[in-house]
Structure 1
Amino acid sequence: MNKPIIGVLGSIRRDSDADFVCVDRTYTNTACIRALDRNGGVPILVPVPEVPTLADPALALCDGLLFPGGWDVDPRHYGEPPHATLGPVLPELDAFWFHAAAYAMERRIPMLGICRGMQLLNVACGGSLYQDIGERPEKNLLHAQQLRRDTPTHKVLIEPESRLRRILDAESAYTNTLHHQSVKNLGKGLAISARAEDGVVEAIESPDGLIVAVQWHPEDLQTTAPAMNHLFEDLCDRALRYRKDRA
């Protein structure tokens, strides 16, 4: 097989079944799977285990990892008490995702972070978050759109020498926006690669190409902003090189 295996980190959702019994489900959004299918990868869902290390055999199969969107990151991971504006957090989810990030960094497995995924990777590298962007001293644009997820809403300005500039081949891009947390202090070894016009950090990356992460949801823009497919192509390209290097 000449396609890389991309592990998509699962999330947790509590649903009611037909008998009105609450059950926890591990899932990821279909759009993430389709984006990898269409852009050169073989996606597999990596479920949230009871103990993070139980996922190691599954992580070992992966040539790349996708950290998708989802719940807020618990501020305990960057040494802050919870603010009144903090949304729901899931300790078992955070524990698994932080373990997966450390696993990937140690083994140099390429990563792509989306929304929560970007925020968590920043914290995993020692950074911190605004628990709500309303904490920023600056005036904020709208970052939680009420339009369809596939609707580009605001512009992001891309740094000239960044990997993201090479991936999207553009000085700026219009993106969707569906978040209330954002990067505050940048993690060690990371660089800001894009900002919104109000200064909110919209993308980060590591200079060595191990981490590329964006605050928006490119998986929902595959047809309305086709250039966003390049983010998934880039992950698959990096993953394929990793696979060949470890063969």
Structure 2
Amino acid sequence: MSNRFAIVPECVFDELDAGNITARDVAVFAALALHADAGTGVCYPGMEALSNRTGIADVRTIYRATKALTAAKLICKIGGGFRDRATVFRIATKNGKPSQERVTPETPFSEERVTSHAERVTSHAGKGVTRDTPTDQEQTKEQKQRPAYKYADADMKFAKAMFEQIRRVAPREKSPKFEAWANELRLLRERDGRDPKEIKTVFNWANADDFWCTNIRSPSKLREKYSALHAKMIAAQPATPRPQEITQPQRRQRRAPA
């Protein structure tokens, strides 16, 4: 059996009598006091240690107790509490309630050594990595964010020609990203299976139409409305006249001798 003991100051029992904290909260305070420095009141036992000392299995219950003790100004958080680092508390001692002055414990929270920012910068500099040099992770993220455009020269040429025609209808139209336009035209050819000559014909018709000229102002919109545009273009074309049928009497007349 250990000979360690915890000192619970009178102010804790004053808060208990006032109904600001519960007996459960006092038990958590006593567990914190067991790990605290006698002079400064600083401790960082971690939730698992507090659970073992108090017999409270639910960590959320311990967390609520620390919140109640903080509200009663019997403890205060002064550091830690991020990633796998234990929260650093300063608790009330016989000298009074704690202050919120932040401290850095001399003992590390775990066996893992914590490197400072200066040490990381020095380490990176030794490897040829400067502040302006993107890391592998940043480069991979940038590559994922950058879309991969693929297109043929003919796609780019038609994209620029499209924009010139659109500019005649909408003179204030801003210059687009032609790589994206050319890529969309490629998709219209390869993925949608449209004929390049037909694509130009459909766009020219839409650009000349009073309604569609203001609505089809990009390859993506052309691709979206392509089927409807093609159907309307075909319907707008004049019907091809059929050859006149020759009746039976007319055939007899043609066969009759002059």
Same fold (TM over 0.5): no
TM (norm. structure 1) is 0.21
Q: Which has the larger radius of gyration?
A: 2
**Which has the larger share of helix?**
2
Structure of higher RCO (CA pairs closer than 8 Å, 6+ residues apart): 1
TM (norm. structure 2) is 0.21
**Which has the larger share of strand?**
1
